[in-house]
Amino acid sequence: MPFTIKPVTPTFACELIGADLRVESTPQMAEATMQAMDAYGVSVFRDQQIGDEQQIAFSRLFGPLESSPHFGRGSQEVVRMKYPELFDVSNLDENNQILEDSDRRRAYRNANLMWHTDSSFQPGGAGYSILSARVIPGAGADTEFADMRAAYDALPSDMKRRIEGLVVEHSAFYSRKLVGFEFTEEELQRRRPTKQFLVQTHPRSGRKSLFLASHASHVVGMPVEEGRALLKELTEFATQPQFVYQHKWRVGDLLLWDNRCTMHRATPFDDFSERRDLRRTTVVGDLPLVEMAEA
Ligand SMILES: [Fe+2]
């Protein structure tokens, strides 16, 4: 192992100590990190003074990366990120100023306060997300993670039987509407809903997980309200304190989570007066495609 593993709990979240990713971005480092992620679902390298290029290079060792669609950008077709692989997780505009109250990027990003998995509305979902902390506010803005493997394991057996094989439709339109963000017609065309199994089996660890998100609109083949009640019940169950790790950010943190077996959400801070600048790279997911599995 190119680092020491310091678990937060015996089964969820860990710190990886002793690596400098500026000089140790190697396939061996990525494989060791994935092995730690198989066990703990979330991991953090502290004190990594890396730039955009280094973050992208390290992230590519885990697989192909998503490109940011830059939804909700300002009226100028200018974006703050230099590379399409970087998702802008900040409250800043293209001039590095705090976003205006009326800026639609605010509404779009407010959806991150709800429990979700990244890109669950895309076929295959997302694999690992990798988030680098460049500027953090003085208080608040923690990120919470829920262990969806432990939540699944703790479900009563009759609930496990009830949900096995169920399919859920995920839509970015659904989650954003909940926080008052309206997509343009062109944006809607780029984000069609997709279907995901409610119970997933992790391709590396073989462990089963609940697969939920604020993007989860309804259960396919079930009356909409009944399906939403089921999704709400499962989300409340899975986000009980015993399944949750709350990450308190430090500048230089490089945090990884596995979207296939965790959910996460941002927590509030004074985002009209304090600055927050985090940058995310996202590995393309490999969830089984429902249409293919049904064929
Ligand atoms: Fe997210």
**pLDDT at residue 234, rounded to an integer:** 98
Question: How remote is the CA of residue 112 from the centroid of ligand 1, in Å?
Answer: 6
Question: How remote is the CA of residue 129 from the centroid of ligand 1, in Å?
Answer: 8
Contact assessment for residue 217 and residue 191, using Cβ atoms and an 8 Å cutoff: no
Question: How remote is the CA of residue 254 from the centroid of ligand 1, in Å?
Answer: 15
Q: How far apart are CA 195 and CA 137, in angstroms?
A: 37
**pLDDT at residue 77, rounded to an integer:** 52
User: How far apart, in Å, are the Cα atoms of 163 and each of 27, 169, 198, 203, 263?
Assistant: 37, 14, 7, 20, 18
Domains in the chain, CATH or no CATH each: 4-294 (3.60.130.10)
Question: How remote is the CA of residue 265 from the centroid of ligand 1, in Å?
Answer: 6
- Where residue 165 falls (left for φ over 0; alpha for ψ -120 to 50; beta otherwise) is left
**pLDDT at residue 189, rounded to an integer:** 79
Question: How remote is the CA of residue 131 from the centroid of ligand 1, in Å?
Answer: 10
Tokens of 143: 């990120």
Rg of the chain's alpha carbons, rounded to an integer?
18
Question: How remote is the CA of residue 155 from the centroid of ligand 1, in Å?
Answer: 25
Question: How remote is the CA of residue 295 from the centroid of ligand 1, in Å?
Answer: 31
Q: How far apart are CA 198 and CA 125, in angstroms?
A: 13
End-to-end CA distance of the chain: 41
What is the number of H-type helices and E-type strands within the chain?
Answer: 9, 15
List the pLDDT tens digit at each of the 295 positions of the chain. 899 999 999 999 999 999 999 999 999 999 999 999 999 999 999 999 999 999 999 999 999 999 987 655 554 456 788 899 999 999 999 889 999 998 888 888 888 999 999 999 999 999 999 999 999 999 999 999 999 999 999 999 999 999 999 999 999 889 888 888 888 888 777 778 999 999 999 999 999 999 999 999 999 999 999 999 999 999 999 999 999 999 999 999 999 999 999 999 999 999 999 999 999 999 999 999 997 454 4
Contact assessment for residue 21 and residue 29, using Cβ atoms and an 8 Å cutoff: yes
**pLDDT at residue 80, rounded to an integer:** 85
**pLDDT at residue 78, rounded to an integer:** 61
